[in-house]
């Protein structure tokens, strides 16, 4: 049955995995959905609740939602990796801000 898109917004990999796991219970998967499911299971580095909380925290810290999702999908472990992701924003982040963001995610993300 076709589904209707009601809202389009970026979500972290763990949240997408949670949604797809619910769908697996409802109906059989197509080949594309199976491949997507395997991809999400492979690259999900944290649980969905933690991902949702971290997105909210990062947004409160001034990071755009899209960038916050990118950060959680990649889970950078160094300042250089994080700065590469933050470069997509037009805002400049000081070393202190980058260190704070890194400290927020480093304990939760598994490399």
At 54-105, the pLDDT tens digits run: 999 999 999 999 999 999 999 999 999 999 999 988 889 999 999 999 999 9
CA triple 14-18-21, angle to 5 deg = 130
- pTM of the entire predicted model: 0.85
Q: Which two tokens stand for residue 111?
A: 């490399």
Domain limits, the chain: 9-111
Note whether 17 and 50 are within 8 A (CB). Answer: no
Cα 40 from Cα 35, distance rounded (Å): 9
Q: Residue 104, SS3?
A: helix
CATH superfamily of 9-111: RNA Polymerase II, Rpb4 subunit (1.20.1250.40)
Number of helices (H), then strands (E), belonging to the chain: the values are: 6, 0
pLDDT by residue (tens digit) across 3-25? 788 888 999 999 999 999 988 88
């Amino acid at each position: 049955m076709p589904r209707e898109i009601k809202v389009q917004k970026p979500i972290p990999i763990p949240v997408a995995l949670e949604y797809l796991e619910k769908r697996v219970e409802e109906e059989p998967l197509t080949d594309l959905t199976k491949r997507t499911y395997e991809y999400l299971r492979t690259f999900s580095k944290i649980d969905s609740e933690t991902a949702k909380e971290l997105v909210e925290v990062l947004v409160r810290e001034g990071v755009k939602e899209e960038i916050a999702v990118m950060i959680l999908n990649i889970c950078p472990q160094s300042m250089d990796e994080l700065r590469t992701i933050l470069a997509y924003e037009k805002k400049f982040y000081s070393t202190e801000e980058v260190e704070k963001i890194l400290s927020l995610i480093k304990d939760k993300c598994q490399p």
